[in-house]
Every structure is written in C-alpha cells, then in structure tokens.
Structure 1
Amino acid sequence: MQLQLRGSKSTLASLLLIAPFFLWGTAMVAMKGVIPHTTPLFMAGVRLIPAGVLILIAAAIMGRPQPQGWLAWTWIMIFALVDGTLFQGFLAEGLVRTDAGLGSVMIDSQPLAVALLSLWLFKEHIGIWGWLGLGLGVAGISLIGLPEEWIFNLLDSGVKITTDNWQELFNSGEWLMLLAALSMAVGTVMIRYVCRYADPVTATGWHIILGGLPLWGISAVVEGQQWQNLVLSDWFALSYATIFGSAIAYGLFFYFASSGSLTSLSSLTFLTPIFALLFGHLLLSEVLTPIQWVGVFLTLISIYLINQRDNLGSQKTTQQSPILETSATNQRKSVTLAVRDSEPKV
C-alpha cells in the first residue's frame, strides 16, 4: 500500500511538472485562434491581469505572505517589466505574424539563453554536450527565423543580404518570438533573486498584474476595436489561456523554478512546441516548410542536449569506469609484485 501511495505521488509530481508546458503549448493555439477578432496587446493584458488576480486569491487561501519592503517590490517591478510586459507583448505581437506551433518553438528556445545566463551568473558547468546543444540551437533557430532567401543565398553564393532582407527580418514574427524567448529566459533566472525578498507565489501574482497593466495602457492608445468582434468561442479561448495558460501554468512553473533545479525544470521545455505543433495541426491546419521542420528538429535536439548534459556526461563516466578500475587493479598488482621481488631471499 505504501509503495502504491509513493507511486501515485510520483505520478502526480510528474504530471504537475509537465502541466505548465502542456498548458502553454495549447494556450498558444487558443490565442492564435482569437487574434483575428481582437488586438494583440489587449489580448496579452487579458491573459495576464485576471490570471494574476486568481493567483493572489489562491495565495491568500494558502496563507502565503505578501511582499514586504522596498527591495521586494523593486524586484517584483523589474520582474513584471521583463517577464510580464516585454515577454507577453513580444509574444502577442509575434503571434500575429507567425503560426502557433512555430511561435511556440521560437519561445521555447529560451533554455539556450538560460544556459548562458546560468554560466555567467551562477558559474554553471555547460560541458561538451551543452556546447554542442548551443551550436545546434543557433543553427536550428537560424533555419526557423531567418528568411529563406538568406539561407539559399548563403548556400549558393555566400552571404548576400539586402536592405529589404533586414526589413523583412525585423518585421517578422519569428524575430519578435526570439525577443520574447530572451525576456522569458531573463525572467526565469530572475525568479531566484525575487524569491530572496518575496514569496514565489505572491510575487508571481503581482508581477503578472503589474506587467499586464502597461499592455492595456498601450492598447488603449494605439489599438481599437479590442473586444467588439469577439464571439462566445473567443471568450472561452481567452478564458482557457488566462486560467490554465497563465494562472495555473505560471504558478506551477515559478514555484518549481524557485524551489528546484532550473536545469531540470528547463529540460521539460522542449515538450511545449510538441504540444503546440500537434494541436496547431489538428485545430488550425498549420503547416511548416521543410527548412523550418529541419530547424524545429535541430532546436528540439539542442534543448534536450543542453538540459540533459549532466546525465549524458555521467553516462560517459560510467562507461569508462570499468576500464579505469581494471587499470587501477593492474597497477596494484604491479606494485605488489615489485615489493615481493624486492624482499630479501632466505
């Protein structure tokens, strides 16, 4: 009975770890379906502010403490700007110009940036598998995000990039998704500093609210017809993205990020584009080009290598250990024989 309980707890823990990435992937598809009937910044604010209120209500029920002191609120404000306003703003604007599945792959390249930030801030070891993953990640992101004309020019006659190419890149959704990925990576690392002064759950709720308010403010100035064309199914999709894709997903993710290993948690991030690509194909009939599929494949491999580098390195060490043990045994035998030979004969 005890083993069954332990097994059920382990299964529940695994499901909770996977849940944020499943919810983010499916929420990406839900948001993409709503975009034709609303505006991106308004949609981003709807996804954030109500979700933050729900998290704070849950934190109050659980008895979580509220932030205290100017240091706590300063870190929360910076956290809100980076992981709330910038991340969701770039994400929403990028979704207008790219597919949900492709956008999710671009977003979930953020472990590449997390690895570099961890190396710089926490002196985390990357190793040969990590550097190999980074190289594959750069190649994969280039195939996904760069205009195909650039790639063909590079393969055919070297680099030949025009002003129109640069304008195409900076106006593309893939470029905005990369900026969103960088914002999310900085926010993932930043939660460790935020939790030195504030509870992770309440900090998550407040940073979502404070990060969403500027999005609604900008939307009120530069956007129009934000909700007039929304139908009932759109409100259901927004509710799903808000409750499940933000409140629950953010709450679980930053709770695990504040109390566990960032590397272990980030190793599950490659599941998000798989969910998004699957549901984007089933619900929105999205199709990627062959070059982009190659980029997706390389990106997923790179994310796996980066976040599993310690396990891959330990396997190599384990495979080498019998050889080392045999060598050590032979050395001990040689020393024993030498000592015996040096003993005086009677």
Structure 2
Amino acid sequence: MQQKPLLGFSLALLATATLGSLPIAAQQALKAVDAPTLVWARFAVAAGAVLVLLAAAKKLPGPSEFSWRTAGLILLGVAGISGNFLLVAEGLHYVSPTVTQILWQLAPFGMILVGLWVFKEQFGRWQKIGLLCLPVGLVMFFNDKFGELSDMGSYALGVALCAFGSLVWVCYGVAQKLLSEKFNAQQILLLIYFSCALVLAPAAEPEQIARIDDVFLIGCFVYCCLNTLIGYGAYGESLNHWDASKISVVTTMIPIFTMLFSHLGHAVAPQVFAAPDMNFLSYLGALVVVGSAVSAAAGDKLFSRKSG
C-alpha cells in the first residue's frame, strides 16, 4: 500500500488526542457510575461496533479457528485489558488523569522485557537508554509527592493501582501478539472486547447508567464508551498509511495531551476540572518519561535510518 504520511500522521494524532482525553472524561463519568459499570459499558459498545463491522465485511472468525490454546490466550488478554481498565478507573478516584498517563508508560517497557524473555527479541541501544531514563523521569515527576507516597494513603493507593494496571496490560499485549498468528487485529479486538463484556457483566450495574440525570455527565459517559472505537480505530488505520515507528513516536505523546487538556479544561471550567498539581520539575520529569518511551519504542529504527 502506498504511504500517505500526512494522513497517517493525522490519524495517529487523532488517536493520541482521543486517548489523552480519556482519563479526564472518565474521572467525571465516575461521579455517576462505578468503575465496573463504566468499563463494562466501554467493552460492550466496542464489541458491538466491531461485530457489526466484521459481519458487514464477512470477516467474522470461524469455529474452526478456535482451539484450547486460543481460548487460553483470549483469557490472558481479557485478564490484561480488563484488569488495566478497572485498576486505572479505580485509580482515578485518588490521582489526576496526568498521573495515570505517566504511569501508563510502564506498559511498553513491560512489553520490551517480556519480549526479551519470552519472544527472544533483541534489546537495542536506544531501548536500553529509554529504560535507564524512565526511573529518572518518574523520580522527577513525583519529586513533590514523596511525602504522600511514603504515608501510604489514598494518593499512594492511586499510584499503585495505576502502576499495577499498566503492568497487567502486558498480559493483553502478549496475548494479542500470539493471537495475531491466527486472527487479524479487528478479530482479536472482537474476541477480547466481547469476552471482557461477558466477564464484567455480573459486576456491572446498568441501572446506574439509567439514573444519570446530568447532561454533562451523560456526555462524558458516552464519550468514554466511544473513545475506544475512535482512538484504536484511528490508530489501526494510521498503520495502513505510515511507518509504525513514526506512529509510535506520536502515540507516546499521550501524557502531553492529557496535561494540555487538563489545563484547557481548568481554564474553561475551573469548578469542574482541576489543574494538574505539578511544579516545574514535575513537568520536566513528564518530558523525560515521554522521551524515554519514544527512545524505547522507536529510537533504534529512527536513528539507525538517519545514520545509515
């Protein structure tokens, strides 16, 4: 397929902005529904939409493609992505959206380490640099929160939930990588989303959704449900038009967008959206964390091309 860099960049930027705004909307939606209900609704909506798209394209996975190994990988993926969604949603009760996105950068590094041990992948120079810079950036980011972290109170709980949620996501990443040997990306999403919706259904309380009577909170809830489709849909389509390494650079900017949207929201409606509680060193630390993620995700490919 002929590359269309501008279109690919635009789609990657849309995915990044969409996913960057998600925790801000989710924090508001969680005022009306609990975390299991919100996460269940997101999976149910996403599964329904992907089902319709695959059915229309006549690309639904057939029964002959399933095996016990496939079932095990689906369960692994369900544990990873549902655990990630739930833990981060619960963490939003205690920490800011920016904190959740900074800690999300633990996920790609977790995948790199799993790739070394499980898939015997190579550990490039720029990945090593990124891994070394990550803890430095995190220390800088949390420089004024050491007291709250050492108190082991609500803030520490929120950080722990989001950090563990990011690491749990690695289970989904592994499952997706192995399932891709038999299914395409949309089929994998259908299997995972549908299974997650089934698993979470007993914990969800749909009546909470019916009781939402605030238009703003309804809008936030609907946006959260559509966010997965828009974000991952744009990301998937961008891969058809641009290099994956360059797309990775754009998508690692998600925390930057979260900070920008947080400031914008506070400027427009300070009574609703809190400004990020960060000092100068925290902002600098956020940039170091993002830079380390860029280095790990695409450094070897980008810089080796330039030097070649």
TM-score bracket, normalised by the shorter chain, equals 0.7 to 0.9
Which residue identity does 2:164 align to in structure 1? L
**Compared CA separation, residues 282 and 252, structure 1 to 2 (3 A):** closer
1:239 maps onto 2:222 in alignment: yes
- Which of 134, 137, 147 is 2:134 aligned to? 137
**Compared CA separation, residues 96 and 280, structure 1 to 2 (3 A):** same
1:158-214 residue CA offsets vs partner (Å, 9 max, x unmatched)? xxxxxx937338852122111221123332343121122333212202211221333
Which residue identity does 2:249 align to in structure 1? S
1:183 maps onto 2:201 in alignment: no
CA distance in 1, matches of 2:184, 2:305: 37
1:20 maps onto 2:15 in alignment: yes
Please show how residues 188-227 of structure 1 align to structure 2 within 5 Å.
188-220=173-205
Aligned to 2:152: 167
CA distance in 2, matches of 1:179, 1:209: 23
CA distance in 2, matches of 1:209, 1:96: 26
Which residue identity does 1:39 align to in structure 2? D
Please show how residues 1-346 of structure 1 align to structure 2 within 5 Å.
9-67=4-62, 68-70=65-67, 71-83=69-81, 85-144=82-141, 148-149=145-146, 165=150, 167-168=152-153, 171-220=156-205, 228-243=211-226, 245-253=227-235, 265-283=247-265, 284-290=273-279, 291-311=281-301, 313-314=303-304, 317-318=307-308
Q: CA deviation at 1:252?
A: 4.8
**Compared CA separation, residues 87 and 263, structure 1 to 2 (3 A):** farther
Aligned to 1:160: none
Contact 1:27 / 1:241 at 8 angstroms: preserved in 2? yes
Higher mean alpha-carbon deviation, 130-139 vs 70-79, is at 70-79
Contact 1:47 / 1:238 at 8 angstroms: preserved in 2? no
CA distance in 2, matches of 1:230, 1:103: 28
TM-score (norm 1): 0.73
**Compared CA separation, residues 177 and 114, structure 1 to 2 (3 A):** same
Q: CA deviation at 1:47?
A: 1.6
Contact 2:70 / 2:179 at 8 angstroms: preserved in 1? yes
CA distance in 1, matches of 2:244, 2:50: 22
Q: CA deviation at 1:251?
A: 4.1
CA distance in 1, matches of 2:118, 2:53: 32
CA distance in 1, matches of 2:16, 2:204: 28
**Compared CA separation, residues 80 and 17, structure 1 to 2 (3 A):** same
Higher mean alpha-carbon deviation, 269-278 vs 110-119, is at 110-119
Aligned to 2:270: none
Q: CA deviation at 1:142?
A: 3.9
Return the index of the structure with the highest Cα Rg: 1
Q: Secondary structure at the match of 2:199?
A: helix
- Bigger fraction of residues in helix: 1
User: Percent identity at matched positions?
Assistant: 18
Contact 2:107 / 2:166 at 8 angstroms: preserved in 1? yes
Contiguous gaps of at least 5 residues in structure 2: 266-272
